[in-house]
């Protein structure tokens, strides 16, 4: 407590001694600031890795389910045609073909979204890493235009969802007409 009330320059007799004391205090302050930044950087990196893992798990599960549903619907509709409805007597066959086209589009879009999403993830993670390093150095953050980077993946994702829904609806109408 007495150190806080004491003038660090009290024992200095010359400008050179005051300058040396000032440089020592500045060095101590810079060291404390560096330690503070290291602590913040370490915490942010841990949070970033945790969020990255959660996002990757969610993306993998959602893609897996959509891909499985689309492929399963494709397979079930083939089995349905071969075992229940004779194509010679089936009504509105173009509706069945349209449903197959939408299921195929869903599968293709899901694969494209995975690849585009992976590239987008790399870009965003690189931006986060650069900003963490800039923050560690005490520099200003770079502001990426996330919406510009992320829109292709989101577009593929939503189109694949709607494609799957349209495929299911078309298949249901075909089934209802031929039961």
Q: How many whole angstroms separate alpha carbon 97 and alpha carbon 78?
A: 11
pLDDT tens-digit readout, 90-118: 788 899 889 989 988 988 888 888 778 77
Q: How many whole angstroms separate alpha carbon 155 and alpha carbon 160?
A: 8
* Cβ proximity of 73 and 171 under 8 Å: yes
Q: What is the pLDDT of residue 22?
A: 79
pTM of the complete model = 0.59
Q: How many whole angstroms separate alpha carbon 118 and alpha carbon 152?
A: 11
Nearest Cα neighbor of 152 from 106, 102, 115, 103 is: 115
Farthest-apart Cα atoms in the chain, separation? 109
Q: What is the pLDDT of residue 1?
A: 44
DSSP structure string for 86-124: -TTT-S-HHHHHHHHHHHHHHHHHHHHHHHHHHHHHHHH
Q: How many whole angstroms separate alpha carbon 126 and alpha carbon 119?
A: 11
- Nearest 5°: the CA angle 49, 51, 57 is 100
pLDDT tens-digit readout, 9-41: 777 788 888 888 778 877 888 788 777 777 777
More confident residue, 142 or 168: 168
Q: Express as a percent the part of the chain with pLDDT over 90.
A: 8
More confident residue, 119 or 163: 163
Q: Where are the domains of the chain?
A: 58-178
Q: What is the pLDDT of residue 75?
A: 77
* Cβ proximity of 103 and 161 under 8 Å: no
* Cβ proximity of 153 and 116 under 8 Å: yes
């Amino acid at each position: 407590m007495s150190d806080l009330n004491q003038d660090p320059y009290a024992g200095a007799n010359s400008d050179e001694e005051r300058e040396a004391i000032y440089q020592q205090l500045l060095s101590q302050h810079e060291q404390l600031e560096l330690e503070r930044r290291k602590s913040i950087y370490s915490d942010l990196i841990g949070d970033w890795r945790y969020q990255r893992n959660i996002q990757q798990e969610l993306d993998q599960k959602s893609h897996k389910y959509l891909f499985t549903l689309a492929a399963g619907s494709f397979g079930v509709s083939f089995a349905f045609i071969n075992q229940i409805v004779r194509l010679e007597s089936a009504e509105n066959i173009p509706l069945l073909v349209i449903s197959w086209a939408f299921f195929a589009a869903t599968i293709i879009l899901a694969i494209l979204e995975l690849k585009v999403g992976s590239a987008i993830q790399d870009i965003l993670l690189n931006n986060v890493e650069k900003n963490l390093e800039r923050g560690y150095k005490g520099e200003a953050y770079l502001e990426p235009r996330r919406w510009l980077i992320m829109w292709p993946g989101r577009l593929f994702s939503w189109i694949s969802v709607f494609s799957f829904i349209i495929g299911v609806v078309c298949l249901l109408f075909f089934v209802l007409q031929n039961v």
